[in-house]
Amino acid sequence: MASGLGVALFSSAVFGLSGSFAKALLETGWSPGAAVTARLTGAALILAVPAIPALRGRWHQLRDNWLTVLLFGLIGVAACQLFYFNAVARLSVGVALLLEYLAPVIIVLWLWAASRKRPRPLTVAGTLLSLGGLVLVLDLTGAVRIDFVGVLWGIAAAVCLAIYFFITAKENDTLPPIVLASGGLVVGAVTMWLAGATGLLPMAFSTTDTRLGPWVTPWWVALGGLVVLATVLAYVSGIVAARALGSKVASFVSLTEVLFAVIWAWLLLGELPGSIQLVGGLLIVGGVVLVRLDELRSPSGAGAGMPAALDHANDVEPVP
């Protein structure tokens, strides 16, 4: 448990770097689509190395799970990352990630409306707390100027994350997680390249030096960090942590990613959400924590307002 917890925290720390590395590239002229495409392509090539041996020649596993891999790549990888990077281009990294982390709240509200069965009090309290935090993050009083187009992108990323959880909310022991991750990245990368080639998605790359904290570095340093640290190492360590801790506990620990993302953005970009937004962020995370705690209390998950199948969701989650 102790070693698994350490791996889970490491995974959250490197996942939290993605927004800072991406924003460093966006500020030099990269488009969000180009940053996502480069990230997915590089990570797909690297993860193919361990994924192919993991199949052990059983290629029928990919054929049998083609729909899961396809939807994971389209929604959990390509769309989720593209929307998040578009949010990062207009908002601070911390605010964009906080908006994406409303996904569990969206799931609770959707299930509540669909089943007309009220969740348990702890889940209701967590949902209301997160919604109250959202109001503070948006800073509707105007003390901090907020880009509402960026807010829409962040909420779109949260919706994609929620949809992904529904898609993969089933037990699946027929496809190794590393293969699912690699396959999803390949699907996402191909989708992005096709969208760029057809003109549907603007693709702008730049070789201008990037600024990370006090250092001015070549563009490939930020891109390399985005691919190797914030994607490959984040995925692999996340899978190891999920296997060691279980998906519920691992997903609970992954909430620390918000804290790491804010710290990295402060150290590498010099940006920090306003005080009212930080309070709102604490409320959002606190609300999600309450929802997670209610999940942990319920063996089946159904009593917490979550379907039992969500307890067995794949150990691979979308990369923010």
At residue 320, the 3 state secondary structure works out as coil
> Can you read off the two tokens belonging to residue 8?
């889970």
Residue 210's H or E segment, with its range, is: strand 210-212
Instruction: Please give the model's pTM, rounded to 2 decimal places.
Output: 0.85
Is pLDDT above 70 for 109?
yes
N-to-C CA span, the chain: 25
| Average pLDDT rounded to a whole number, residues 269-298 | 81
| 114-139 tens-digit pLDDT | 877 778 888 888 888 888 888 888 76
Q: Which amino acid is at 222?
A: A
Which stretch of 67-71, 86-90, 104-108 has the lowest confidence by average pLDDT?
104-108
| Average pLDDT rounded to a whole number, residues 195-204 | 91
> Can you read off the two tokens belonging to residue 234?
């984040």
What are the phi and psi torsion angles at 74 (to 5°)? Answer: -75, -45
Which stretch of 126-135, 270-279, 281-290, 301-310 has the lowest confidence by average pLDDT?
301-310
| 131-190 tens-digit pLDDT | 888 888 876 666 556 788 999 999 999 999 888 877 766 555 677 778 888 888 999 999
Residue 296's H or E segment, with its range, is: helix 275-297
Q: Are 89 and 196 in contact (CB under 8 A)?
A: no
| Cβ burial, residue 246 (10 Å; 0-12/13-18/19+) | middle
Is pLDDT above 60 for 43?
yes
Is pLDDT above 50 for 302?
no
In the DSSP assignment, the letter for residue 119 is P
Q: What is the DSSP string of 148-207?
A: HHHHHHHHHHHHHHHHHHHHT-S---SS-HHHHHHHHHHHHHHHHHHHHHTTSS------
Is pLDDT above 70 for 301?
no
> Can you read off the two tokens belonging to residue 16?
């939290």
